[in-house]
Amino acid sequence: MNYPVPSLPYPLRGVRRTPPAPPSVELLPTLHRLGVRVASIAHWGRTPLADGSGEDATGGRLTHAGVAAVREMERLGMIFDVSHLGARGVEHVLELATRPVMATHSSARALRDHHRNLTDDQIRGVAATGGVVCVNFFPVFLAEDPADHTVDRLVDHIEHVAGSPGSTTWGWDPTSYARCCTTSLPRAVRASTESTPTPPCPGWTGHAGCPLVTEALLRRGRSGDEILKILGGNVRRLFLAELGRPL
C-alpha cells in the first residue's frame, strides 16, 4: 500500500504483515530503508511474532519477538498497524506503545461482531496513543446481512469510530481489494474471508464512490472541517507528526 502525503519528501509504503518470510525483527531496518513506514506483524493466521485475528480463539498475545518488533518499529520511526491482529494482540500492543499506533482498516465491533473489527475499548486505546482508526468498507465487516451493505451502514461505522476523541476514519478502495484478493492472497486465505470482494453498495466504483460518503456525512450534520478530518485530515496529521520527526 502506498500513501501519498503532501509535505513529506517521499511516498509512504505500508505492509500488512512484516517481516515477510522468514519473519525476523532484524529485517525491519531493511524494510524501513525501502520506504516502509506503516506495518503490522500478522495477517489472518499465526506468525512467529503474533496471532492474526483469524486465530482469535487462541487468546494469544505477542511473542517475545513480537514485543521486540514493536520496540524496533518505534525506534525506526515506523507506525504500528493493529488491523489484522487478534484481540489480545491489539491489547498487548496498546500496553507496550509509547508512540501513536494506527488501525489502517478496521470497523466497529459494536456494530458488527467480526474478529476483524475493533471493540470500543480498543478504539479508545488507539486514540489515546494519539493514533487513528480507519474504517474498512469491505462488506462483510460492515454487516452480516447483505441488504445492509450500504453507504449509510458504512457511515454508521464512521460515526461510531469518530465518536472517540482523536480518532479518524478512512475508506479502502474496493477495486484495489478485489485485485488483491484475486492476485495476491493464497487460496486458503481468500476462502477464509467468507465473502467475495464486492463494493459496499450498488453503484460504488473505486474512488468515484467516495463522494457518496461525503454526501451522507453532510446529511447527518457533520461540518466541513469534521468531514475533512474524517476523509484523511487526521491521517495526514499523524503521518506528518510521526514520520517527519528526527530519529
Q: In this predicted model, what pLDDT tens digit does every residue of 96-154 receive, in sequence order?
A: 999 999 999 899 999 999 999 999 999 999 999 999 999 988 888 899 998 888 889 99
172-176, 191-195, 198-202: range with highest mean pLDDT: 198-202
Domain's final residue, options 37, 70, 99: 99
Which grid cell is 234?
487526521
Domain's final residue, options 39, 71, 99: 99
For residue 14, what are the domain limits?
10-99
Residue 236: phi and psi, rounded to 5, are: -60, -45
**pTM for the full predicted model:** 0.81
Instruction: Classify 71 as helix, strand or coil.
Output: helix
For the CA atoms of 50, 132, 170, 113, the dihedral, rounded to the nearest 10 degrees, stands at: 50
Residues 95 and 116 occupy one common structural domain: no
118, β-bridge pairs: 108
Residues 146 and 195 occupy one common structural domain: yes
Residues 191 and 243 occupy one common structural domain: yes
Which grid cell is 159?
460515526
The domain tally of the chain equals 2
pLDDT at 166: 52
Residues 29 and 66 occupy one common structural domain: yes
Sequence-separated (6 or more) residues with CB below 8 Å from residue 217: 155, 158, 226, 227, 230
Mean pLDDT (whole number) for 33-60? 85
pLDDT at 186 over 60: no
